[in-house]
Amino acid sequence: MRILHTMLRVGDLDRSIQFYRDVLGMKVLRRADYPDGQFTLAFVGYQDEADGAVIELTYNWGVDRYELGSAFGHIALEVDDAAQACERVRQRGGKVTREAGPMKHGKTVIAFVEDPDGYKIEFIQKGTA
């Protein structure tokens, strides 16, 4: 067994694709409309689905907002330099919600950014865990 993808419901698919592609540097791997079910799926990631886990962005037609709730935490991405990754996000119009620095009660360097729907994305600096 292996993890295939994580699904996130989004309120504006084009806005979300722009964030994951242009701000975080992922590729759009595939996209398909399902008219009978009134939804569209787009898969984004850094590598092909056969090679690693990706994110499935699900847009339910006519739904532009979701309550995120308190159960889901975040998606984690390994980065070479968390501070530089935050700066790139800022330069590309993204929102940094926690600047790079050591995590509480540890030495791992982390930072957090937020996608357009409010989902948290953690940057974990390589070699600091």
Catalytic residues: 122
User: How many CB atoms neighbour CB 112 within 10 A?
Assistant: 18
What are the structure tokens assigned to 63, written together?
């739904």
C-alpha 54/C-alpha 49 separation (Å) is 6
For the chain, how long is the longest CA-to-CA vector? 50
Per the CB < 8 A criterion, the answer to whether 110 and 120 are in contact is: no
The strand pairing partners of 75, in sequence order, are: 121
The single residue listed with the structure tokens 């996209």 is 31
User: How many CB atoms neighbour CB 106 within 10 A?
Assistant: 10
